[in-house]
């Protein structure tokens, strides 16, 4: 029975919105070619760029924690280009390229905060079409609510918590656990790893856990600390020089200035006993 102006909710099938597409085809206002991402290279790189950028390693830092860790591991990096995503509003970006709140995508440094997962394919394929590499290393995070595990015996997962996924052709000897089935990863890191698996490029994805604070997923110092175990892999794959690596303490000093520790959020962590 309906009560004006309220109407009874219909329990629709999951394909409800696909049925809407099926019946009423809506045309997108913006043509597809205007939604494609594009790269602007710095002038000194563009002159030397023949077809593709040939490197031994590509390292992606995704979302807050991944960005911060990669930024801290490579403090003396040089920006060589920017990937422009037409849908991202950059009007509030500041001039400091390393500010983690900036919405942009510099090569080696990505803040994927607002990138829609539907655009992950375009973003990743466009970037990867310009580079040729031996190895890909990705740093990303998971939300605590996304983890499926036997909490009755293992308890709720807490940072520091690190898992990895690697392509079939990449055997890694570290003590980092593989992300257990049936957990899965979406978005840009999934798109990049899929490309690597399909094209037989060695790749590894490291996933740290965000804290759940008042229902919001936040990166803390503990989230980023979990990535320290991966330093051995970076040295092994020669992404960092073994002769002069930054120590973990030096790296911690760099990213700690932007993030809080879990202890400072303890009085807000109502979800943990």
What residues line the site for other proteins (CB under 8 A)? 2, 7-8, 10-24, 26, 28, 117-118, 120-122, 124-125, 148-152, 155-156, 165-168, 170-171, 178-187, 189-191, 193-195, 197-200, 205, 273
> Which is nearer to other proteins, 123 or 255 (by Cβ)?
123
Q: Are 67 and 109 in contact (CB under 8 A)?
A: yes
Q: Which residues of 139-161 are buried (b: 16+ CB within 10 A; e: fewer)?
A: bbbbebeebeeeeeeeeeeebbb
CB of 87 to other proteins, least distance (A): 14
Closest approach of Cβ 181 to other proteins, in Å? 5
**Which of 128, 135, 166, 147 lies closest to 209 in space, CA to CA?**
147
What is the sign, positive or negative, of the torsion defined by CA atoms of 242, 247, 250, 251?
positive
CA-to-CA distance for 157 and 114, rounded, in angstroms?
A: 25
Q: Output DSSP code: residue 117.
A: G
Q: Where are the beta strands (DSSP E) in 50-173?
A: 53-61, 81-84, 105-106, 109-110, 131-142, 162-166
Whether residue 182 is preceded by a cis peptide bond, meaning omega within 30 degrees of 0, is yes
Length of the chain counted residue by residue = 273
Between 20 and 97, name the residue whose CB sits nearer to other proteins: 20
Least distance from C-beta 143 to other proteins, angstroms? 15
Output 184 or 214, the one with its CB closest to other proteins.
184
Measured from the CB of residue 38, what is the shortest distance to other proteins in angstroms?
16
Element (H, E) at 248: helix 248-256
Which residue, 133 or 189, has its beta carbon nearer to other proteins?
Answer: 189
Report the residue number, 126 or 256, with the smaller CB distance to other proteins. 126
| Least distance CB 194 / other proteins (angstroms) | 5
Q: Cβ 208 to other proteins, closest distance in Å?
A: 17
Nearer to other proteins, 55 or 271 (CB): 271
Q: What's the rounded Cα separation, in Å, for the pair 222 and 239?
A: 23
């Amino acid at each position: 029975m309906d009560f004006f102006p309220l109407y009874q909710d219909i329990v629709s099938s999951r394909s409800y919105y696909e049925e809407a597409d099926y019946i009423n085809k809506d045309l997108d206002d913006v043509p597809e070619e205007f939604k494609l991402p594009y790269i602007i290279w710095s002038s000194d790189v563009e002159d030397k760029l023949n077809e593709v950028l040939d490197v031994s390693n590509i390292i992606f830092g995704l979302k807050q924690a991944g960005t911060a860790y990669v930024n801290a591991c490579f403090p003396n990096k040089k920006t060589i280009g920017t990937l422009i995503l037409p849908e991202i509003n950059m009007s509030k970006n500041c001039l400091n390229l390393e500010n983690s709140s900036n919405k942009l995508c510099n090569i080696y440094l990505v803040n994927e905060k607002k990138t829609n997962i539907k655009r992950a394919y375009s973003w990743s394929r466009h970037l990867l079409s310009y580079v040729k590499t031996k190895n890909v290393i990705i740093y990303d995070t998971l939300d605590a609510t996304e983890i499926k595990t036997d909490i009755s015996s293992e308890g709720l997962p807490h940072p520091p918590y690190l898992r990895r996924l690697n392509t079939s052709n990449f055997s890694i000897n570290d003590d980092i656990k593989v992300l257990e089935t049936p957990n899965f990863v979406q978005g840009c890191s999934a798109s990049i790893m899929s490309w690597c698996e399909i094209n037989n490029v060695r790749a590894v994805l490291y996933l740290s856990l965000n804290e759940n604070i008042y229902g919001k997923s936040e990166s803390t110092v503990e989230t980023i600390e979990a990535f320290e175990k991966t330093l051995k892999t970076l040295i092994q794959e020669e992404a960092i020089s073994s002769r002069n690596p930054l120590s973990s303490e030096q790296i911690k000093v760099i990213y700690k200035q932007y993030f809080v520790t879990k202890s400072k959020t303890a009085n807000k962590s109502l979800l943990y006993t």
